[in-house]
A = this chain, B = another copy of it.
Amino acid sequence: MVPEMTDLNPRKAPVQRRSAATVEALHTAAIQVLVREGLARCTTTRVAERAGASVGSLYQYYPNRDALLSAVLEEHLTRVADAVAGACIAARGCPIGEMAGTLVRALLSAKLADREESRALYSVAGERGGPMLVRAAHDRMIADVACLLKTAPDRRVRQPEVVASVLLNALFGPITSVLKDQTPARLEAHLEAELIRVASSYLRAAPTG
């Protein structure tokens, strides 16, 4: 298992408006190609072509293919983590059942806002650099939710980090499944209600102390 040092950081930031547009176009093109063709066929040439740019331009801003994909993934993860952070601020001090609802709704709207994008990025999350980014986003969300749980007036949850982690991942499971179309269509209508049930029943069952 050789580390295989490849630089995943952007090469340089756009300074003029023109290049900002190019970078933006590359991002959305990467997602589109990912959705339509899959990770294996998401090549630099195809992304550039779809973005209406040339491969050369792509390499002006990203040192390699993986750097581009990492950037796109990171942006998505940040959006989701921001949504969770927002919910954690909004629900601060609320009874624990309300926290559950707020959190679930925030997660759902962040993840389902652009289903194609969410779905496409699962494959990226498993490759070079992806796991690191996912891990970081998870840690951030866990910290936020744990902090939120401490403010519950009706429940003093023990080990808030453990509970936050299990809770978040228990919610991500069904969401992921729906995004990947691995779930009978009937479930989707019930998704929000059931997730809230999962969250609030688990939180109420969590050990206090």
- Residues in A lying within 8 Å of B, measured CB to CB: 1, 36-40, 122-123, 126-128, 131, 134-135, 138-139, 142, 159, 161-163, 165-166, 169-174, 176-177, 180-184, 186-187, 190-191, 194-195, 197-198, 200-202, 204-206
> How many Å lie between the Cα of A187 and that of B37 in the bound state?
37
Partner pick for A174 among B1, B128, B161, B165, CB 8 A cutoff: B165
Inter-subunit contact B173/A187 (CB<8 Å): no
For the complex formed, measure the closest distance between the CB of A94 and the CB atoms of chain B, giving whole angstroms: 19
Number of identical protomers: 2
> How many Å lie between the Cα of A1 and that of B116 in the bound state?
13
A–B pairs, 11, beta carbons within 8 Å: A1-B37, A38-B127, A38-B128, A39-B127, A134-B180, A134-B182, A135-B181, A166-B191, A166-B195, A171-B173, A201-B201
For the complex formed, measure the closest distance between the CB of A100 and the CB atoms of chain B, giving whole angstroms: 11
> How many Å lie between the Cα of A161 and that of B190 in the bound state?
11
Q: For residue A131, which residues in chain B have a CB less than 8 angstroms away from its CB? A: 180-182
Inter-subunit contact B166/A194 (CB<8 Å): yes
Inter-subunit contact B195/A201 (CB<8 Å): no
Inter-subunit contact B174/A174 (CB<8 Å): no
- Point out which of A123, A134, A195 has the most chain B C-beta atoms below 10 A from its C-beta: A123
Inter-subunit contact A165/B138 (CB<8 Å): no
> How many Å lie between the Cα of A78 and that of B82 in the bound state?
38
For the complex formed, measure the closest distance between the CB of A125 and the CB atoms of chain B, giving whole angstroms: 9
> How many Å lie between the Cα of A126 and that of B122 in the bound state?
8
For the complex formed, measure the closest distance between the CB of A109 and the CB atoms of chain B, giving whole angstroms: 18
